[in-house]
Amino acid sequence: MRKLLAAVAAAAVLLAPAIAQAQSPIVIKFSHVVANDTPKGKGALKFKELAERYTDGKVKVEVYPNSTLYKDKEEIEALQLGSVQMLAPSTAKFAPLGVKEFEALDLPWLFKDEATYASAMKGTVGKWLFQKLEAKGITGLAYWDNGFHMLSANRPLLKPTDFQGLKFRISGSKVADQYLRIMGSIPQIMAFSEVYQALQTGVVDGCENTASNYLTQKFYEVQKDITVSYHAHLQYAVIVNSKFWSGLPPDIRTRLDKAMAEATDYTNSIARQENEEALAEIKKIGKTNLHYLTDADRKGWQEAMQPTYKWAKGRVGQEVLDLVAKELDVKMN
Ligand code: LMR
C-alpha cells in the first residue's frame, strides 16, 4: 500500500507540469495605439470577448490600448519578434517593412463610403495585399474600418492656398505625404502617441485623423480649426505573427477565425456611427471651430490633390492600382 501511494505521488509530481500546461490558456497579446472608446478599441474588446467564449477560455486575449505596450513602428517589430501576437495598425504603417502597396488605399477620395470600403477589402485586393505580408512573417486576418479623415490646423483650411507652409503630422503613408505636399504644406511622419504634444508645442501645425481619434486623443484642445473634409480613409489591417498563428491547434484557430469574422463585422458596422457621435461631441465641447467644405471647396481640393494618383504609380506600382480600380469600379488616371 505504501509503495502504491509513493508511486501515485511520484506520478503526480511528474504529471503536474503537463497538467498545468494543458490548463494554462494560450495568451494572445493584442496591442494597439488608440483608445478603447473608438472603433478599433471596441473591435479589439469584441474579439477578446468572442475568442475567450468560443474557445471556452482556452485562449486568453490581453488587449493593450493607447500605445501602452508599443508605439507605431515598434509594435510591428514586436509582432515579428513574437513579443505580441496580434495588432491592428493602420495600413499606412507598412512601408517601413518594404511593403508599399497598401498605400494605394490612402489615395484621396478613393472610397465612396464606409460600406464600399468594407466590402471592397473582402475581395481580391484585400487578399492580394495580405499576401505581401507573408514574406515578413505576418499573416493578415481582416480589415477594420475607421472612416474618413478630417484635417486641422490653427487656421481654417478651405482653399488649397490655406495649406501653404503648414507642417502636418502624418501617420506614415507617402501617398498622404504627397497629397499634402502638393498643397504646399510640409508633412512629417510621427508616432500617434506623440501627436497631442507636438500640436500643443507647435512642433507641427496640424494633422489629419478621424473624429473618434480627435475626440479620444483630445486633439480638438490644441487645434483651433478642424475641416470635416473626409478627404481620405483610415483603415486597419488586423495581423498576427505567422509562426504563432500557424502553430495553434487547428480547432482553436477555427474558433478564433470565427471570433475574428464576427468582430470584424461588428467593428465595420459601428465605425460610421462612432465617428458621427465623436464629431457631435467635439462640436458640443466647443473648443474648436468646425468647418465644412462647399462643393466648390471640395472640387478645389480634389483638383489640387489629383496629381497624387499619377504620382502613386511610381510608388505603389500599377498592379495594385489596377486591382483597386477593378474592385471599386473606378478609373485611376
Ligand atoms: C494614426 O497614427 O494616426 C492612426 O494610425 C491611429 C490609429 O491607429 O487609428
Question: What CATH number is associated with residue 144?
Answer: 3.40.190.170
Question: Distance, CA 34 to ligand 1 centroid (Å)?
Answer: 7
> Taking 70 as the threshold, does the pLDDT of residue 15 lie above it?
no
Q: Which atom of ligand 1 is nearest to the CA of 38?
A: 9
Question: If we measure between CA atoms, which residue out of 89, 299, 94, 301 comes closest to residue 179?
Answer: 301
Ligand 1: does its nearest atom lie under 6 Å from the Cβ of 209? yes
Q: Is residue 117 part of a domain?
A: yes
Residues 120-133: what's their mean pLDDT?
96
The residue with greater pLDDT, 161 or 12, is 161
Q: Is residue 300 part of a domain?
A: yes
Q: Are 64 and 29 in contact (CB under 8 A)?
A: yes
> Taking 90 as the threshold, does the pLDDT of residue 185 lie above it?
yes
The residue with greater pLDDT, 21 or 107, is 107
State residue 332's pLDDT score. 81
Could you tell me which residues are beta bridge partners of residue 186? Answer: 167
Q: Which domain holds residue 239?
A: 2-97+104-323
State residue 73's pLDDT score. 87
From 31, 32, 40, 90, mutation site for ligand 1 pocket: most ligand atoms within 8 A of C-beta: 90
> Taking 90 as the threshold, does the pLDDT of residue 331 lie above it?
no
From 144, 209, 238, 267, mutation site for ligand 1 pocket: most ligand atoms within 8 A of C-beta: 209
Q: Which atom of ligand 1 is nearest to the CA of 207?
A: 3
Candidate from 18-32, 91-105, 212-226, 240-254 with smallest mean pLDDT: 18-32
Ligand 1: does its nearest atom lie under 6 Å from the Cβ of 171? yes
Ligand 1: does its nearest atom lie under 6 Å from the Cβ of 210? no
How many C-beta neighbours within 10 Å does residue 178 have?
22
Q: Is residue 253 part of a domain?
A: yes
pTM for this predicted structure: 0.93
How many C-beta neighbours within 10 Å does residue 210 have?
25
Residues 28-38: what's their mean pLDDT?
98
Q: Are 89 and 237 in contact (CB under 8 A)?
A: yes
Q: Is residue 242 part of a domain?
A: yes
How many C-beta neighbours within 10 Å does residue 333 have?
8
State residue 283's pLDDT score. 98
Q: Is residue 331 part of a domain?
A: no
Q: Which atom of ligand 1 is nearest to the CA of 213?
A: 9
Q: Is residue 333 part of a domain?
A: no
Q: Is residue 332 part of a domain?
A: no
Q: How far apart are CA 23 and CA 255, in angstroms?
A: 18
DSSP 8-state assignment for residue 71: -
Ligand 1: does its nearest atom lie under 6 Å from the Cβ of 90? yes
Candidate from 19-23, 35-39, 90-94 with smallest mean pLDDT: 19-23
Q: Is residue 288 part of a domain?
A: yes
State the pLDDT confidence band at 220, using cuts at 50, 70 and 90. very high
Residues 196-205: what's their mean pLDDT?
98
Q: How far apart are CA 128 and CA 102, in angstroms?
A: 10
Question: Distance, CA 313 to ligand 1 centroid (Å)?
Answer: 24
Can you state the angle between helices 295-305 and 174-182, rounded to 10 degrees? 110
Q: Which atom of ligand 1 is nearest to the CA of 191?
A: 2
Tell me the CA distances in angstroms from 191 to 34, 89, 157, 171, 227, one per residue in order: 11, 12, 23, 7, 22
Averaged pLDDT score across all residues of the chain: 94
Q: What angle do CA 103, 272, 178 make, to 5 degrees?
A: 25
Ligand 1: does its nearest atom lie under 6 Å from the Cβ of 191? no
Q: Are 151 and 227 in contact (CB under 8 A)?
A: yes
**Based on the structure, what is the number of domains in the chain?**
1
Compute φ and ψ for 195, nearest 5 degrees.
Answer: -70, -45
Helices H / strands E in the chain, number of each: 13, 11
> Taking 70 as the threshold, does the pLDDT of residue 175 lie above it?
yes
β-strands 150-153, 206-209 pairing:
antiparallel
